[in-house]
Structure 1
C-alpha cells in the first residue's frame, strides 16, 4: 500500500512534461479502496469475518433435537442440515482459495460473503427440510473467508505485524465457535429459531460492507491462469464420497454397501484427481508444491490437530448435559453448557500474541509442537476431572490454548514455503486438512461411544469409560501431531514474522510438471 502512495506522489510532483514520458507499466497492479483502514483495522475486520464464519458452524447445534419437529421430517433427514454445510465447505474452500490467487483475495472474500448472507436468509424463511439444507449448503460456500483473509494479510501488512495478525485471525475461529453455542442457545430459548438466521444474515452483510469499504485489495494476480475445472470436480467428488462415508458411516453401518461403495469411490476419484493435477500445467492444487516437506508435514500435523481438537468438543458437551442420575453426567442445560465451554474459545484469542512471539523467537514449528503437547496435557488433566463442571472448564481451557498455539503457527509455516501467487490456495488446502481431521474424529469418537454404553432408563447411553477412552485417543493423537511437527524442515531464516518468499520466476507447475 505504501508503494502505491509513493508512486502517486512521484507522478504528482514531476510536472506535466515529466508526466508525459512516464511509462504506464510502472504503475503497480495494486487496487486501493477510497478509505483504507489502518493495518490494525484490517486485521480486526478479517478477524470479525472469521468469527462470523465460525458462528455459522455452531448456529444450528441448539436446534438439532428439535429440527425434525420444526421441519416436519425425520431425525436422519434433519441431520443433513449439519452434513450439507460440512460437505459444501470442504469442496468450496480449495476452489475459493485458487480463485483468490487468480483474481484477487479481496474480490473472492466479497464473493464468499454473498452466499453467507443469502444462505442465512434462505434458512430464516425455510418451512421444509429441503430449503433448510439448501440454505445451509449456501452458508458452506462462504467458509473460505478465513484462509482468504489469512492470505490477504501477506499482501497488505508490514512484515513485523504479520505473525501476530496471523495468530489473531486463526484464533477467531475458536472465538466464533465458543460464542456461537451460548448465543444460539439464548436466542433459540427466548425468541423464534428464525431469529438465529436473521442475525447471521445481518452479521454477514456487515462483514461484506466492512471489507468493501475498508479492506485494501493487496496484490492481484498478474498471471490469470486457466481455472482447473476438471481438478475442482475431481477433488469435490472425492471429498464428498470420503466425508459422506465418514460422517454417515455410523448411521448406515460401516460394513454396509453404501458406506463401502463411497469409500471405494473416494479412493478412485482422488487417485484419478491426483494423476490429473500432476499432468495439468495450472492445477487447482499444485501437488508438487504440497509435497515439499515443510508443506507436507504441516498438513499432516493439521489433520492430527484437527482430530485432537474435535475429540473433546464432542465429549465435553455430552458430559455436561447428561443427567446427574447417571453418576457422571452434570445435568446442565444447553445454555449453561455453552457458557461453560465459552472461556475455552476465548483462551485461543488471549494466547494468540504469545504464540506469535514464540514463533518469532523459536520458529513456527516449535509453536505447533508446543501447542500439540498442550492439547495432550489438557486431555491428561481430564481423566480425574470428568465429574466436575469446573474440571471440564479447565480441560477445555487447556486444550483450546494448545489449539490456539497450533492453529496460529500453521498458516505461517504454509506461507513460508509457497510462492505469493499460491498463498490462498495453499492456506485453503491446509484448512481442508483440518476439516478432514475433525470429520475423522467425529467418526472415531462416535464409534467408541456407541460401542461402550450403559443402560439408563431403558436407553443406552455412552458410558463413563467410553468418554475416558475417547479422551485418551485425543491425547495420543495430539502427541503424534507434536512428533510430526518436529519433523518439519524449516530454515532458521524462514521462521520469524515474515515467511520466506520462494522464487516466483518459475511457472506454478514448475519442477517438471507438464500438461
Structure 2
C-alpha cells in the first residue's frame, strides 16, 4: 500500500505528458489510417475502372511497398538530422500531391505511379514515435510513455482506417469513382496544415550530411530485389531472370553493409541488426508485414467475388466490404490500446508473442471458415487484435532499444523490414492469385487456390514470429536497459 501513492502520481504525470506530447499527431495518424482504409472496399471497382483483372490490384500494393522500403530509411535518417516535424511536412506534401493526382489518372500505369508516390506516408508513424521519444527525454517512465503514446497514435490510425473504409464503401456504392477518389487528397492537404501549425519540432537535431553513397547502394539493392519479385509475377516462378535479379539485390546488400560499417555517420547503422534489443523487433516486423501489408487487397477482392460466377467468395457490395474491414480495424484499436497493459502485466516479449499468435490463428481459421459473412468477421476480429498490438508495440520497442542518436532510424527500420515482408508476400500472392485465373468465369476473379496460399502464408509467418519470440528471443528482450548498454556501436 505504501507504493500506491507514488504509482498514482507517476501515472498522472505520465498521462499529462502523454496528452501534451501527442497533441495534433493523433490527427496525422487518423489521416494515415483514412488513406489505408478508404481505398480497400473499392479495389475491385478501381480494377474495373482501369480495365485490369483483380490479380493486378496486387501491383498497387507491391509498388507502394517498394517505394516505402526505399524512402523510409532516408526520411527517417533525415528526421534525426534536420528535425522530425520538417520531414513530416515534406512527406505530407508529397502524399497530398499524389493523392490529388489519383482521380485524374485514367490509365493503369499513371494510376500506379501516383499510387506508388502516395506510399511516402508510411514514414509518418516512425517519425512521430521518434519525435515523442525526443520530447520526453527528461521524463521518468520514458519507455512506458512512448508505448502509451504509440498505442494512442495507432488507435487514431485505426479509427481513421475504420472511417475511411466505411465512408469509402458507402460512397463507391452511390457515386462515380472519380469524385470518390478526390476525398483523400483533400484530407491530406488539411493534414499538412495541422502539422505546420499544431506540431512542435523535436528539441534537438543532429545535423550532418546524408550518406548519399549508402542511400544509393541500398536503393539499388531494394530496387533489384523488389524488381525481381515483380518479374516473378510476370514470368512466373520458372523465370531465371527474376531469380537472378532477386539474387543481385541480395548480393548488393554486402557492399552496402561494408560501406556503412566504415562510414562515420551511416544512413543505417547495420550494427543495429546485431543488437539483441533490436534484432528481434526487426525480424518480427518483417514476418508481421507479410499479413498486415500483403493481405489487404486479396481479402477485399475475395469478399467482393461473386460465388455464383467464380464458385467462391461472398459477392457483397462496397459498403458491406467496408464493414468487414471496419470490424478488423475496430479490433486493431482494441489490440493497440491493450498492448501496453498486457506488456506491463506479463512482459513485452510475451505480449508480442501473444499478439503474433492471435494473427496466426485468425488467418489459419480461413481454411475451414470462409463461406459466410459471420465467419469472415470472426476471423478478422481475432487477427485484428493481434495486428493492432503489433503495430503499436514494434516501433515503441525499437525506440526504447535504440541509441539516442538513432531513434528515428530504428523506428524507421521497423517499417522498412515490415515493408520488405509485405512486398515479398504481395509478390507471392499476386502469382498465386493469377495462377488459374482463366478458370474463373469472366476472367477477372483470382483463383481459389491463390486465396488458400494467401491465408497459409499469413498464418505461417505470424506463427513463426510467435515461435521465435517465445523460444529464441531472450526473456529480458524489449525491457528497459541502462543507457550505456543500448548503443550497439
Same fold (TM > 0.5) = yes
Indicate which of 243, 250, 253 corresponds to 1:270.
253
Structure with greater helix share of residues: 2
What do the CA deviations read for 1:266-301 (whole angstroms, capped 9, x no partner)? Answer: 123222212211121111100012211221121111
1:204 paired with 2:188, answer yes
Secondary structure of 2:424's aligned partner = helix
State whether residues 18 and 149 of structure 2, in contact with CA within 8 Å, keep that contact through their aligned partners in structure 1. no
Which of 345, 355, 362 is the matching residue for 2:329?
345
2:344 aligned with 1:378, yes or no?
Answer: no
Residue in structure 1 matching 2:71, options 84, 87, 92: 92
**Aligned counterparts of 1:474 and 1:129: Cα–Cα separation in 2:** 28
Residue 287 of structure 2: aligned partner: 304
Is the contact between residue 169 and residue 321 of structure 2 (CA under 8 Å) also seen in structure 1? Answer: no
Assess, with a 3 A threshold, how the Cα gap between structure 1 residues 176 and 252 changes in structure 2: closer, same or farther: farther
User: CA deviation digits over 1:339-360, x for unaligned, max 9?
Assistant: 2221111211123221111122
Q: 2:232 matched to which residue of 1?
A: 249
CA contact (8 A) 2:260 2:266 kept: yes
Matched, 1:144 2:123: yes
- Whether 2:149 is the aligned partner of 1:165: answer yes
Distance in structure 2 (CA, Å) of the matches to 1:365 and 1:115: 36
Of 421-430 and 124-133, more deviation after overlay is shown by 124-133
Q: Where do residues 36-51 of structure 1 align in structure 2 (5 Å cutoff)?
A: 39-40=18-19, 42-43=21-22, 45-51=24-30
Distance 1:172 1:93, change over 3 A: farther
Could you tell me how far 1:193 is from its partner in structure 2? 3.2
Q: Secondary structure at the match of 2:267?
A: coil
Distance 1:148 1:99, change over 3 A: same
Deviations 1:316-344 (A, max 9, x none): 33432222325542211233212222111
Q: Secondary structure at the match of 1:293?
A: coil
The CA deviation string for residues 69-119 of structure 1, in whole angstroms up to 9 with x for no partner, is 756899999976555433222211111100011111112111211111222
User: What displacement does 1:369 show?
Assistant: 0.5
Structure 1 gaps, min length 5: 1-36
Stretches of structure 2 lacking an aligned partner (at least 5 in a row): 1-15
1:120 aligns with 2:105: no
Q: Which has the higher contact order (CA 8 A, sep 6+)?
A: 2
| Cα contact 1:164–1:356 (8 A) shared by 2 | yes
* Bigger CA radius of gyration: 1
Contact 1:247 1:439 in 2 (8 A): no
How far the C-alpha of 1:378 sits from its partner, in A, is 1.5
The equivalences for 1:84-483 within 5 A come to: 84-127=63-106, 131-157=110-136, 158=139, 159=142, 161-221=145-205, 223-310=206-293, 313-325=296-308, 326-451=310-435, 455-457=439-441, 459=443, 467-468=451-452, 470-483=454-467
Note the C-alpha offset of 1:503. 4.0
Structure-1 separation of matches of 2:374 and 2:51:
38
CA contact 2:83–2:201 (8 Å) conserved in 1: yes
Question: Deviation digits for residues 437-458 of structure 1, max 9, x if unmatched?
Answer: 1122223334444557794447
Find the aligned partners of 1:173 and 1:501 in 2 and give their Cα distance: 32
Which shows bigger deviation, 376-385 or 342-351? 376-385
Of 445, 462, 473, the residue aligned with 1:488 is 473
The TM-score with structure 1 as length reference comes to 0.80
How large is the Cα RMSD of the aligned pairs?
3.3
User: For the structure 1 residues 197 and 76, does the alpha-carbon distance in structure 2 shift closer, same or farther, using more than 3 Å as the test?
Assistant: same
State the shift of 1:393 in Å: 0.4
Kept after mapping to 1: 8 A contact 2:30/2:157: yes
In 2, the alpha carbon distance for the partners of 1:330 and 1:129 equals 27
